[in-house]
Amino acid sequence: MQKFIVKGGNPLKGTVKISGSKNASLPIITACLLTKEKCTLKNVPDIADIHTMCKILNSLNVETNFEKNTLEIDAKNATLKDIKTNLVNKMRASILLLGPLLARFNKAKLPFPGGCVLGKRSVDTHLDALEGLNCKVSEKDNVLTVQSDGLKGNKIIMTEISVTATENAVMAAVLAKGKTEIRLAACEPHVQDLCNFLNKMGAKIKGIGTNNLEIEGVSKLKGITYTVTPDYLEAGTFAIAAAITKGDVTIENVRTDQLDSFWNALAEVGVNFKFEKEDKVVIKPAKKFNKIKQLRTAVYPSFPTDLQAPFTVLLTQASGISKIFETLFEGRLNYLFELEKMGAKVEILNPHEAIIVGPSKLKGTPIASCDIRAGAAMVVAALAADGETEISNINYTDRGYERLDEKLRNLGAEIQRV
């Protein structure tokens, strides 16, 4: 197993360019199953989850070629086959195959997906939405089978505002007969990017960026070239890393309008930042950080759950008592036990709430990543800590961040992969 060895205390300085969005790339890759023509995707992050998804597509006779952040996908000869459980178990995003496979073959068969351990993450919302499009669902031996004698448009009210369930419903509906209305749809930037991609292919989706989508089914989609949106979660992580090390960092290739709640929280804490352009933000050193009344995560456009862990690390350096309220995943706060090892003053109230008392001096010690975003948080903590920190389970970090250690070294961090 690989580890990060981080020596903290160095202010980050320089410029970092944000990679393409993991959470946008994965559904867009599966959406390429919806056409028999070749698609070319640009700005795709070179991370483990992308390679896993390509392997899954390869097992379905889909040709892929990934080089220098450009991914070519040719699904002309795609066939419906059993997908290996060991591939599906590597990431939750494998559930995104359900919608495209149904639209292409009127059948999808998939082992239950794996991924980060963030508490119970039911697939019921996915199945309810697909059943609304004239599908039947069965389960046997931990394998899902969804079938249809022809997808039909319908009015679907999502049972929860789920990103991946919305994406599955959209990908199935674009080739369904008739009109589909999806209410209580997720509207995160990566959902918007998928919809924009599909519209460029020839789909007819209205209401992009809202919680109500209207989709007029079409008979065919075409192959296109498309540039994936930047990863706003990576941008937020680097902004926090720059702030906590009292660095001077310019972050490029970021859609600043995708992070409104995050910028508000940074301002409340007292982080010194300014927008130079709509795709560039500069972080400057701040004298001190202030407590935050409550960091409450919720669905977009509220504060993103995926930035809660890195932001909480920043709050360990703030003066006063800050409260964390994680509304989405009951397993998301597990990383706080690792922060306590480093000297953070934490009181866990319940699986969703915690109190952070700061400022506290963080000290280097062996710690572990609990999930993709907690892994990034551990790196942020190590950058701010005194001494050397050893971070294990960095396979999580590699799933979500492209060349994180290399980008940080270019900013002056002492971080090595061993």
pLDDT tens-digit series, residues 56-86:
999 999 999 999 999 999 999 999 998 888 8
The span from the CA of 324 to the CA of 345, in Å, is: 13
CA-CA distance, 415 to 175, in Å (whole number)?
A: 47
Q: For residue 72, list its beta bridge partners.
A: 40, 65
Residues 209 and 299 in one domain: no
Of residues 279, 276, 306, 308, the one with CA closest to residue 292 = 308
CATH code for the domain of 106? 3.65.10.10
Residues 26 and 13 in one domain: no
What does the pLDDT look like over 288-330, one tens digit per residue? 999 999 999 999 999 999 999 999 999 999 999 999 999 998 8
Alpha-carbon distance 25 to 71, whole Å?
A: 10
Q: What is the pLDDT of residues 186-228, one digit of tens each?
A: 999 999 999 999 999 999 999 999 999 999 999 999 999 999 9
Query: What is the tally of structural domains in the chain?
Result: 2
Catalytic residue IDs: 116
Q: Is the pLDDT confidence value at 118 over 70? A: no
- pLDDT tier, 120 (very low <50, low <70, confident <90, very high otherwise): very low
Residue range 229-237: average pLDDT?
A: 98
Domain boundary among 202, 227, 252: 227
Same domain, 299 and 178: no
Which of 186, 207, 227 lies at the terminal end of a domain, its last residue? 227
Categorize the per-residue pLDDT at 114 as very low, low, confident or very high, splitting at 50, 70 and 90.
low
pLDDT mean across residues, the chain: 95
Domain span holding position 43: 22-227
Which of 193, 212, 227 is the last residue in one of the domains? 227
What is the predicted pLDDT for the residue at 277? 85
Phi and psi angles of residue 136, each rounded to the nearest 5 degrees, phi first: -115, 140
In the beta sheet, which residues pair with residue 65?
72
Q: How many CA atoms lie within 13 A of 31 on its CB side?
A: 35
Residues 251 and 313 in one domain: yes
CB 291 within 8 A of CB 320: yes
Residue 122's pLDDT band, with cuts at 50, 70 and 90, is: low
Same domain, 98 and 146: yes
Same domain, 258 and 114: no
Is the model more confident about 233 or about 93?
Answer: 233
Indicate if 290 and 201 belong to the same structural domain: no
Identify the pLDDT of residue 290: 98
Return the structure tokens found at 257: 């309008």
| pTM exceeds cut of 0.85 | yes
